[in-house]
Chains A and B, each alone.
Chain A
């Protein structure tokens, strides 16, 4: 086994360390946070956020500085640095950084800062994983930290959500382990990028491979909250603290996406697999979009609605992958960046209102748009972007994804891709109906008498304004990001 061999190659390990400096920075920062937390008083959380923020920023700079143009296997092939992984590492680190700023407005416990960093660390390792053992370890790092983080509201419903998340997550992990063990039995390797893996799978073509692949992908789809592995999301989203939900809806999900792309490409065997994976992914994508949107229609709790919306968004993220070609994956990566921005913006703006008054239903938003104009407008822009209307990057992202779908359909004549194309676009209208509920209450309903105006901190406004500008800027000038994404060629 390769891991065993790696233990005897200390030189390879030390030389590999240079490639994971961002992750090492995170580990060091976690340790520092842990120690600082012991000595700092509870209300000094700003110091913690500052320290970890600087650490994450440095890590981003390191990834950007040492942008890997050629794929480089490290740690005896269990991880690999390539531009695909680097892209997602930057994304996860930025997601973590932005989340820290959201929680900056609130007294955040030391533990939550540590857990956020741990999830980012796990996500970064996941993006680099080329080996099922590292996949398992990093996925568990993400999951276990997530379970704890979800219970951070310290009330009954939050514990319940966390428990559901944990139980279902454990089943998902069990599925993953079971699938991986089958794969090891068939191929004799856990390295899914290796020639041995591809060769044995092409030769054997047994039904067992499909079972194994479905088990593994089920665990990954659980992280992406794709239908039918989405049932935990609404409860967790509704009960967990909003900054935590903002984070959980973005980083673990996109980490799952990065992993999904890699594994599905591995099982696709460069198009030589017996099963046409495009059909499977397109099916999951259609299900997620339709079920996510239809369920969201009935919701009255804003966070629960956003949970279903994020299930539908998972469908859109998978739609680009369903093409299984580079252009579709590039479109998905663009969508991933935009999704990160708009989802964080939606939850950040929501968090403003929640700090000020409880919002169990959307009717509680009545008239608040006139009291707090900037966060309310930001929320509207985030929802318009999630719907996919111009002038936001949400539109550009959907345009790119659906363009890639159309092209893939025109090339392959695979009807399911056309169905996905049409269903996805028509769902925008359904989506608008529930996304519009919040702006509807914010601006169209009268302000209830006696509503005091909200005092909004400058940093809070600054964060939403930065996110809004980013979303509009990416619409006006998508070439900037897309040009960068287009240079990414090493996925598997």
Chain B
């Protein structure tokens, strides 16, 4: 069964069907969307039985897509090539779950429901497509295809400054994707498919790009002759994905987008869209340009450390709850960069683990902010105190989410960060990519993380009850909110207590990743 194609195209086709239904049947659209989400979950469960943890790339679907003659430069070939491995499989699973929760969270949206759910469905397909595509052109198409729905979702259904935020988001991300496009064009024209020997076939196949033997001798990105061009290409591609991640100093779009986006879209943005940045670095930047990865390793790690500290400091200073969570995302994605930079098995496994874990936890955090905002339309931290006395169940989930996010043992965040630190501390002695002082500084980020979360809990939830905002009733969680928060809390705990169930999938990928350097004969010890 073509699982991946079904996962990608069922939502897209449903979105087109939804457009044909008259807008006055407002009840149909959320049910249609959740139907698609449930089908996707079922498909993913079926995939679990067909996916073998140590089997490398699986569920491959490969069809010819574009084949053009470029006259004297040979043939352009793009394929519809989708597959999953230990890197993308957990992320696809995460996407399926998060999109289901995003739909539930959108239930009370009343403004132009038809458009909202159609865009959400298109976004759904594009996200899963980005995680599965192994053809660079196909990936790029899915990657760009997310922008327009996101622009409208933030711009129409967002908060007061939504228009500014949505345009900023679009322009920043497009700048990143133009960097990616520049490198993509240079890359495919430098690579030839090994499948055709009689003619030069320029392929977009990422697996071919990862093999240095497929570079056309003398082409601009050929390792033997290109000189510094490969480093330039690495830097551009890295910046392209770092904007999406987002890493300091390319992060300024994120707080605005998060604060203004409706809750469900914040959830999708934090839990899934940021992951595409990390995924892109692990799938495209590092494997295609391992020489650049070695050369720039301290830069990558340095950007990671700066993101960790700077994000945490900003979170500490944030007055708006959503802004605090947004900056904590910057901080946590900094750990991903640190893990990737170490290029050790532990570091890579930790980075992937951290991405999945952050996906779960940040979704919870934004839902929590949404719960409060729905009731009072106010997110300023200092306007609340003593909420624990009024909203007991809510406070329980806040505590779970905050402690999970600050990396308390027993929650998934802890496992990811510990693995990343293992990798980063090992790196100096193992491959000399990340200097020892960087992870030492990064531990400061953990401390700051504890500080801003605990301080927030103390200010908002403890002390005498007082709310300086207009609200009708401050009810505790509704059933719908339970249905969203409980599964996420269980997942955060499950992956914290039994990390092996997730690591079994990630490890084969993480183990094969560092060996890439040695198989390519590039000396990692300068």
B112 near A370: Cβ-Cβ < 8 Å: yes
- A433 contact set on B, CB distance < 8 A: 167, 171
B162 near A478: Cβ-Cβ < 8 Å: no
Contact partner of A429 (CB less than 8 A), chosen from B174, B189, B219, is: B174
A257 at interface (Cβ–Cβ under 8 A)?
Answer: no
Partner-contacting stretch, out of B179-187, B481-489, B503-511: B179-187
Contacting residues of chain A (396-413) with chain B, CB-CB under 8 angstroms: 399-400, 402-404, 406-407, 410
B170 at interface (Cβ–Cβ under 8 A)?
Answer: yes
- B219 contact set on A, CB distance < 8 A: 410
A327 at interface (Cβ–Cβ under 8 A)?
Answer: yes
B66 near A478: Cβ-Cβ < 8 Å: yes
Contact partner of A425 (CB less than 8 A), chosen from B156, B178, B188, is: B178
- A478 contact set on B, CB distance < 8 A: 66, 68
Partner-contacting stretch, out of B145-153, B407-415, B472-480: B145-153
Q: A390-B145, A444-B155 are in contact. Are A486 and B71 (CB under 8 A)?
A: yes
Name B138's closest neighbour in chain A (CB-CB): A390
Contacting residues of chain A (420-449) with chain B, CB-CB under 8 angstroms: 421-422, 425-426, 428-429, 432-433, 436, 440, 443-445
Min CB distance B272 to A, Å, is 19
A406 near B155: Cβ-Cβ < 8 Å: no
- B215 contact set on A, CB distance < 8 A: none
Contacting residues of chain A (120-175) with chain B, CB-CB under 8 angstroms: none
A188 at interface (Cβ–Cβ under 8 A)?
Answer: no
The binding surface of chain B is classed by DSSP as helix
Q: A327-B71, A330-B71 are in contact. Are A444 and B185 (CB under 8 A)?
A: no
Min CB distance B205 to A, Å, is 16
A432 near B170: Cβ-Cβ < 8 Å: yes
A294 at interface (Cβ–Cβ under 8 A)?
Answer: no
**Complex: how many Å from CA A391 to CA B16?**
15
B501 at interface (Cβ–Cβ under 8 A)?
Answer: no
Contact partner of B171 (CB less than 8 A), chosen from A429, A444, A483, is: A429
Contact partner of B141 (CB less than 8 A), chosen from A391, A428, A436, A482, is: A391
B70 at interface (Cβ–Cβ under 8 A)?
Answer: yes
Interface residues as binary, B130-161 with A (CB distance below 8 Å gives 1, 0 otherwise): 00000001001100110110011001100000
B178 near A482: Cβ-Cβ < 8 Å: no
A326 at interface (Cβ–Cβ under 8 A)?
Answer: yes
B185 near A428: Cβ-Cβ < 8 Å: no
- A370 contact set on B, CB distance < 8 A: 112
B163 at interface (Cβ–Cβ under 8 A)?
Answer: yes
A354 at interface (Cβ–Cβ under 8 A)?
Answer: no
B182 near A389: Cβ-Cβ < 8 Å: no
Contacting residues of chain B (54-93) with chain A, CB-CB under 8 angstroms: 66-73, 76
Name A408's closest neighbour in chain B (CB-CB): B73
Interface residues as binary, A320-364 with B (CB distance below 8 Å gives 1, 0 otherwise): 000001110010000000000000000000000000000000000
Name A487's closest neighbour in chain B (CB-CB): B69
- B427 contact set on A, CB distance < 8 A: none
Contact partner of A390 (CB less than 8 A), chosen from B71, B140, B175, is: B140
- B181 contact set on A, CB distance < 8 A: 399, 402, 425
A389 near B147: Cβ-Cβ < 8 Å: yes
B68 near A428: Cβ-Cβ < 8 Å: no
A327 near B70: Cβ-Cβ < 8 Å: yes
Interface residues as binary, A429-473 with B (CB distance below 8 Å gives 1, 0 otherwise): 100110010001001110000000000000000000000000000
**Complex: how many Å from CA A443 to CA B118?**
15
B362 at interface (Cβ–Cβ under 8 A)?
Answer: no
A384 at interface (Cβ–Cβ under 8 A)?
Answer: yes
Q: A402-B185, A428-B174, A436-B170 are in contact. Are A390 and B69 (CB under 8 A)?
A: no
B178 near A403: Cβ-Cβ < 8 Å: no
B166 at interface (Cβ–Cβ under 8 A)?
Answer: yes
A271 at interface (Cβ–Cβ under 8 A)?
Answer: no
- A440 contact set on B, CB distance < 8 A: 155, 163, 167
B76 near A426: Cβ-Cβ < 8 Å: no
B68 near A482: Cβ-Cβ < 8 Å: yes
A443 near B174: Cβ-Cβ < 8 Å: no
- A429 contact set on B, CB distance < 8 A: 171, 174-175, 178
A406 near B185: Cβ-Cβ < 8 Å: yes
Specify which of A327, A390, A436 lies most central, judged by the most chain B CB atoms within 10 Å of its CB: A390
- B68 contact set on A, CB distance < 8 A: 400, 478-479, 482-483, 486
- B112 contact set on A, CB distance < 8 A: 370
**Complex: how many Å from CA A391 to CA B129?**
13
B178 near A428: Cβ-Cβ < 8 Å: yes
Contact partner of B186 (CB less than 8 A), chosen from A327, A406, A432, A479, is: A406
**Complex: how many Å from CA A404 to CA B188?**
12
**Complex: how many Å from CA A432 to CA B151?**
12
Q: A389-B147, A391-B145, A433-B171 are in contact. Are A422 and B66 (CB under 8 A)?
A: no
- A421 contact set on B, CB distance < 8 A: 182
- B189 contact set on A, CB distance < 8 A: 403, 406-407, 410
Min CB distance A306 to B, Å, is 19
Q: A384-B148, A444-B156 are in contact. Are A326 and B66 (CB under 8 A)?
A: no
**Complex: how many Å from CA A406 to CA B167?**
30
Q: A326-B71, A406-B189 are in contact. Are A422 and B171 (CB under 8 A)?
A: no
A327 near B72: Cβ-Cβ < 8 Å: yes
Q: A327-B72, A407-B70, A444-B156 are in contact. Are A436 and B144 (CB under 8 A)?
A: no
- A410 contact set on B, CB distance < 8 A: 189, 219-220
- A402 contact set on B, CB distance < 8 A: 181, 185
Min CB distance B228 to A, Å, is 14
- A443 contact set on B, CB distance < 8 A: 152, 155-156
**Complex: how many Å from CA A421 to CA B185?**
10
**Complex: how many Å from CA A400 to CA B68?**
10
Name B140's closest neighbour in chain A (CB-CB): A390
**Complex: how many Å from CA A386 to CA B251?**
28
A403 near B167: Cβ-Cβ < 8 Å: no
- B148 contact set on A, CB distance < 8 A: 384, 389
A327 near B73: Cβ-Cβ < 8 Å: yes
Q: A440-B155, A444-B162 are in contact. Are A390 and B144 (CB under 8 A)?
A: yes
**Complex: how many Å from CA A152 to CA B109?**
48
Min CB distance B345 to A, Å, is 36
Min CB distance B16 to A, Å, is 12
**Complex: how many Å from CA A436 to CA B166?**
11
Min CB distance A138 to B, Å, is 29
Name A370's closest neighbour in chain B (CB-CB): B112
Min CB distance B387 to A, Å, is 34
Min CB distance A484 to B, Å, is 11
Contacting residues of chain A (243-273) with chain B, CB-CB under 8 angstroms: none
A486 near B69: Cβ-Cβ < 8 Å: yes
Min CB distance A305 to B, Å, is 16
B185 near A399: Cβ-Cβ < 8 Å: yes
**Complex: how many Å from CA A482 to CA B181?**
21
- A432 contact set on B, CB distance < 8 A: 170-171, 174
- A445 contact set on B, CB distance < 8 A: 163
- B188 contact set on A, CB distance < 8 A: 403
- A483 contact set on B, CB distance < 8 A: 68-69
**Complex: how many Å from CA A330 to CA B69?**
10
Min CB distance A422 to B, Å, is 7
**Complex: how many Å from CA A325 to CA B166?**
41
- A436 contact set on B, CB distance < 8 A: 151, 167, 170
Name B70's closest neighbour in chain A (CB-CB): A327
Contact partner of A389 (CB less than 8 A), chosen from B144, B186, B220, is: B144
Sample of 21 A–B contacts (CB below 8 Å): A326-B72, A389-B174, A390-B140, A391-B141, A399-B181, A402-B181, A404-B70, A406-B186, A406-B189, A407-B70, A407-B189, A425-B178, A426-B178, A432-B171, A433-B167, A436-B167, A443-B155, A444-B152, A444-B156, A483-B69, A486-B69
The 8 closest A-B pairs by CB, nearest first: A327-B71, A390-B141, A444-B155, A482-B68, A407-B73, A486-B69, A390-B144, A429-B175
A403-B70, A433-B171, A477-B66 given; name 5 further pairs at CB < 8 Å.
A327-B71, A410-B219, A428-B174, A429-B178, A479-B66
What residues make up the interface of A, taking CB atoms closer than 8 Å to B?
325-327, 330, 370, 384, 389-391, 395, 399-400, 402-404, 406-407, 410, 421-422, 425-426, 428-429, 432-433, 436, 440, 443-445, 477-479, 482-483, 486
